[in-house]
Amino acid sequence: MRRSNLVASIIVSGALLWGAEAKGEATLAGTVKNAAGQPLPGLALMEIGELHGNVWGPGTLVDERGEFKIEVPKGGQYGLHVYSGGYLYHPEAVLLEEGKTVRVTVTLIPEGTRANDPIIKRLGFFPWEGNQGKTTYVKLDVADPNDDLGPQVLAFNARTGRGYALDPPRQVRNLKEDFPQGVYQLPVDTSKAPIEPKDWYFVIADHQCNTTDILSYPHQPQPPRVVRVIMGARPVSADTGRDLFQLYCTRCHYSDRTDTKTGPGLRGLFGRETLPSSNTPVSEDNVKHQIFTGSRPEVKGDRMPPFGHLPPGDIQSLLLFLRTL
């Protein structure tokens, strides 16, 4: 297939996928906040179908009140992804019904360090002269200090309300593999109107949920800053640990079963011989080490981010709660 025909088929097939006949609209509305209850602005994007399927559809900016609303042409299974600068991104499976509004509250967790974040080195918009400018390529030069990029090198067009995953420098067959560093690109149909850079927003998340700041016009990356969320003093107890587990861990781990969610289920953790992902002996020191450092680099796909920035009392409370499972 000629390159021009291939690009055209990519653009058209994406339009057909989203423009399929719909029986009734469904709506997802939500509030985004941090653990202190402060509203967070940002970006909310939806995957069509299963979570982490990398088929992107509608999205919206989250306003300064932390509010967002996304309408989809039909009910069904979707994956919600929420991003805000300085916070680990939040993935969540949602089931929407036609003619109804589902409301969610998303609590984001601050990154303990920004040293693990992916990096947008450069960004540009390049008309393809080969077809008289009818296609413009959006290109991002992407790096990652831990070399654990995932498929979420994302663009959002605020005018159309659509999200896109950019194509990697080389083909990656398994979404759980580490994606390459380099130049990612997205072909945009500009046959009817030129591209408007002010409409475009960009964000990248790696396999450990480390996330860039949301890059908006004029698309000049700035040094990231660490967000500090001030919380009141908490007693060291299993009850406090239950609350902390709900805040930090339930997006990836079940507490009442051994089934895999994103990470392994943790029921009966301290009754096992080895930890489920590292295969090290179960002990308080090894569990604490896992919380502090996150998953090992050799773990494929989504990995646990490090939580070494948590206060010692919170770590102890988590350990007390994990012993009750």
What's the confidence (pLDDT) of residue 280? 85
- Given a cut of 70, is residue 26 above it in pLDDT? yes
Q: What is the mean pLDDT of residues 114-127?
A: 94
What's the confidence (pLDDT) of residue 99? 92
Report the distance separating Cα 310 and Cα 292, nearest Å: 8
Q: What is the mean pLDDT of residues 226-243?
A: 83
Residue 221, CB-side half-sphere exposure with 13 Å CA sphere: 19
pLDDT (tens digit, 9 = 90+) per residue, 162-210? Answer: 999 999 999 998 998 899 999 999 999 999 999 999 999 999 999 988 9
Amino acid at 151: P
Integer-rounded Cα Rg, in Å, for the chain is: 21
What is the chain's percent helix, strand, coil content, to nearest 5?
20, 35, 50
User: How many Cβ atoms are within 10 Å of 23's Cβ, its own excluded?
Assistant: 10
Q: Which residue has the higher pLDDT, 211 or 8?
A: 211
DSSP 8-state class, residue 247: H
Fold topology of 3-108:
Immunoglobulin-like (2.60.40)
- Given a cut of 70, is residue 38 above it in pLDDT? yes
Q: Are strands 200-206 and 149-157 parallel, antiparallel or unpaired?
A: antiparallel
What's the confidence (pLDDT) of residue 198? 97
- Given a cut of 60, is residue 23 above it in pLDDT? no
Amino acid at 175: L
**Residue 32 φ/ψ, nearest 5 degrees:** -115, 130
What's the confidence (pLDDT) of residue 309? 77
For residues 322 and 315, is the Cβ–Cβ distance under 8 A?
no
pLDDT (tens digit, 9 = 90+) per residue, 53-73? Answer: 999 999 999 999 999 999 999
- Given a cut of 60, is residue 277 above it in pLDDT? yes
The dihedral built from the CA positions of residue 255, 89, 278 and 319, taken in this order, carries a sign that is negative
What percent of the chain has a predicted confidence (pLDDT) above 90? Answer: 54
- Given a cut of 50, is residue 19 above it in pLDDT? no
For residues 265 and 259, is the Cβ–Cβ distance under 8 A?
yes
What's the confidence (pLDDT) of residue 119? 96
Tallying the residues shown for the chain, one arrives at: 325
What's the confidence (pLDDT) of residue 300? 57
Fold topology of 238-322:
Immunoglobulin-like (2.60.40)
For the ranges 63-77, 125-139, 147-161, 163-177, the lowest mean pLDDT is seen at 125-139
Instruction: Identify the CA nearest to 311 among candidates 255, 250, 252, 228.
Output: 228
Which structure tokens are listed for 45? Answer: 């994007």
Which structure tokens are listed for 101? Answer: 């509004």
What's the confidence (pLDDT) of residue 112? 85
Residue 54, CB-side half-sphere exposure with 13 Å CA sphere: 15
What percent of the chain has a predicted confidence (pLDDT) above 70? Answer: 90
The dihedral built from the CA positions of residue 283, 287, 292 and 293, taken in this order, carries a sign that is positive
What's the confidence (pLDDT) of residue 13? 34
Which structure tokens are listed for 72? Answer: 């989809």
Strand-pairing partners, residue 287, are none
How much is the pTM? 0.81
What's the confidence (pLDDT) of residue 6? 34
Residue 187, CB-side half-sphere exposure with 13 Å CA sphere: 22
Mean pLDDT of the chain: 87
Q: Is 59 strand, coil or helix?
A: strand
- Given a cut of 90, is residue 298 above it in pLDDT? no
pLDDT (tens digit, 9 = 90+) per residue, 68-90? Answer: 999 999 999 999 999 999 999 98
Which structure tokens are listed for 7? Answer: 């690009």
3-state secondary structure 5-32: HHHHHHHHHHHHHHCCCCCCCEEEEEEE
Report the distance separating Cα 19 and Cα 131, nearest Å: 25
